[in-house]
Amino acid sequence: MRFYFSFSIFLIVLVLIDLYSFKAIRIAMKKSVTRQVISIAFWALSVVLYVMVGTVLLNKPDHDTVGRYASISIIFGILLLFLLPKLMILVFHFFDDIQFLIRKLIVKLRNRKTPRAISDKGRRAFLTKTGIVLAALPFTSVMYGIFKGRFNFSVYSESIAFKNLPGNFDGLKLVQFSDFHLGSFSGNYEQVEAAIELINQQEPDLLVFTGDLVNNSSHEIDEFLPLLKKLNARYGKYSILGNHDYGDYSKWDSDADKQTNFERMISLQEEAGFELLRNENRQIQIGDESIKLVGLENWGHPPFPQYGDLRKAMQGVDEEKFTLLLSHDPSHWDAEVLGKTRIDLTLAGHTHGMQFGIEIPGFKFSPIQFKYPRWGGLYTEGKQHLYVNRGIGYIGIAARVGINPEVAVLELRKEA
C-alpha cells in the first residue's frame, strides 16, 4: 500500500512539472498552428512516458528475464531526457512569474489599471524564453549520455606511495573495475568486449573487481562469460560481492530458488577465473615478500545489507604488514576501517558517481556526494587511503552524463 502511495505522489509530481512547463511554452509562443502541434506532441509524449514508467514501477523485475533491466534503464533514460529540460524551463519560468507578479503588484499599489504590456497575453517572458533555449543543454547532454557516455570507457590513473610496501611490490600495477551490472548491457556484446579489451590493455599485475557483477540474476553473466574469461593478470584476478549480487532486489518463487541463483553466480565467477573472497584473505607473493589481500562481503548502511564481517576477513592478518582491502561500499571505510584498523589501501565502488556530474581538472561534483561524501577517486586520511571506482556499468538509467565508466590503474610505490 505504501508503494502505491509513493507511486501516486511520483506521478502527481510528474504531471505538475508538465503542467507548469507547458504553461511556460504556451506563454513563450504566439498562437499559431506550430503552437498547436507542439502542444499535442508535448502531451502525447508525456502520456506515453507516464504509461512506460507506470508499467515499470508497478511490475517488480522478474529474475528470469535477463533483458528486463536493460529495458528499464532505457525507459528511465528517456524519462530523464525529457524531464531535465522541463525542469530547466520550470526554474526560469518560475522566476519570470515572480517578476511578472511583482510588476503587477506595483501597478496595483499605484492604483493604476494593469497596462497591456504586463498582461499575460502581452508579457515578454524573457526569462521563460531563455529557459526554453537553455533546455537544449540538458537534452543534448542526456542524449549524449545515452548513446555515447555510457560506453565511453575511460582509464583513471593514480600513483600511491606507502612506507610499508615491500620492495618487490614497488611499481605494482593494480587494476580495479567495479559495478559491471551485466544485465544492463544485454544486447550490447561489442561494448562489453571493448571494456574487457581496455582492461587487458593496461597489462595488470593484479586485477580486482569490487562487486555488483549483475543486477540480480546469475543468467546475466551467461552472455558475457567468454569475455570475462579473457581477463588476465600476472598475479591473479580477485573479486568480491556487491549488494546486487545476492539477488535481494528480485522476486523468487522460493528461498531455494534464490539460493540456487546465488550459488550459480558464485560458480560462474570462479569459472571466469576470479577468486571470489567472501570475508576472507589471501597472500599475494612476489619473490620472498608478500602483502595481504582482504575481501569483504557487502557492508552498507541500511537499507543495504551488512553481510560483511571485517573481523572474520582479517583473521591471520598482521596489520603491521601492507594490507589491501576490497569492500564494495565506500561508507564502510569511515564506519569500520579508518582509524580503527591499519589497513593501508581500501578499494570500493557502489556509487557510480550517480552516473551524473561534472569532472574537470581541479573540480568535480556529483549530487551523490550528499549521500556519499567519498564517491569517486582517491581519498587520503593520514596513512590510510581509499579509492572509489566510478563503476564500469550502469543501472537505473541507461546513461552517463559527465561521469565516465571507469577502469582504475593504481600504481603502488614504496615511499623513500
**Listed residues 95, 126, 146: the one ending a domain:** 146
Residues 159 and 307 in one domain: yes
DSSP assignments along 99-154, one per residue:
HHHHHHHHHHHTT-PPPGGGSTTT---HHHHHHHHHTHHHHHHHHHHHHTGGG--E
Based on the fold, state whether residues 232 and 87 are members of the same structural domain.
no
The whole-number pLDDT of residue 111 equals 66
Backbone region of residue 24 per phi and psi (left: phi > 0; alpha: psi in -120 to 50; beta: other values): alpha
Q: How many Cα atoms sit within 13 Å of 310 on the Cβ side?
A: 20
Q: What are the grid coordinates assigned to 278, written together? A: 567472501
Residues 180, 394: Cα–Cα separation, whole Å = 7
* Start-to-end Cα distance in the chain: 62
Q: Looking at residue 201, what is its pLDDT?
A: 98
Claim to verify: residue 124 and residue 198 sit in the same structural domain: no
Q: What is the pLDDT of residue 8?
A: 83
Same domain as 159, residue 125:
no
Q: Are 242 and 297 in contact (CB under 8 A)?
A: no
Secondary structure element (H or E) that encloses residue 275, with its range:
strand 275-276
- 176 shares its domain with 117: no
User: Which candidate, 52, 117, 110, places its Cα nearest to that of 81?
Assistant: 52
Domain termination site, one of 111, 127, 146: 146
Q: For residue 369, what pLDDT is reported? A: 96
Amino acid at 153: F
Q: State residue 391's pLDDT score.
A: 98
One DSSP character per residue, 61-109 reads PBTT-TTHHHHHHHHHHHHHHHHHHHHHHHHHHHHHHHHHHHHHHHHHH
Domain count, the chain: 2
Q: Which of these, 213, 305, 312, 197, lies nearest to 267 by C-alpha position?
A: 213
Q: Are residues 252 and 383 in the same domain?
A: yes
The cell for 199 is: 582492461
Q: Are 285 and 397 found together in one domain? A: yes
| Contact (CB, 8 A) for 213 and 239 | yes
Which amino acid is present at 105?
Answer: L
CATH code (residue 405):
3.60.21.10
The continuous run of DSSP H or E covering 293 comes out as: strand 289-295
Pair (131, 245) in one structural domain: no
Domain end marker among 114, 146, 178: 146
389 with 311, same domain?
yes
pLDDT of residue 127: 82
**In a shared domain, residues 116 and 161:** no
Residue 365 and residue 220 share a domain: yes
Same domain, 315 and 272: yes
Digits of tens for pLDDT over the chain (416 positions)? 676 777 788 888 889 999 989 888 888 887 778 878 888 888 988 888 888 878 776 765 555 466 667 777 788 888 888 888 999 998 888 888 888 888 878 877 876 554 544 555 545 678 888 888 888 898 999 999 999 999 999 999 999 999 999 999 999 999 999 999 999 998 899 999 999 999 999 999 999 999 999 999 999 999 999 999 999 999 999 999 999 999 998 888 899 999 999 999 999 999 999 999 999 999 999 999 999 999 999 999 998 989 999 999 999 999 889 999 999 999 999 999 999 999 999 999 999 999 999 999 889 999 999 999 999 999 999 999 999 999 999 998 899 999 999 999 999 999 97
- Does the CA dihedral 76-82-86-89 come out positive or negative? positive
CA angle 305, 308, 311 (to 5 degrees): 150
pTM: 0.86
**Are the C-beta atoms of residues 394 and 352 closer than 8 Å to each other?**
yes
Q: Which domain holds residue 120?
A: 2-146
Q: What is the pLDDT of residue 66?
A: 65
pLDDT of residue 56: 72
pLDDT at 110: 75
Q: Identify the pLDDT of residue 81.
A: 87
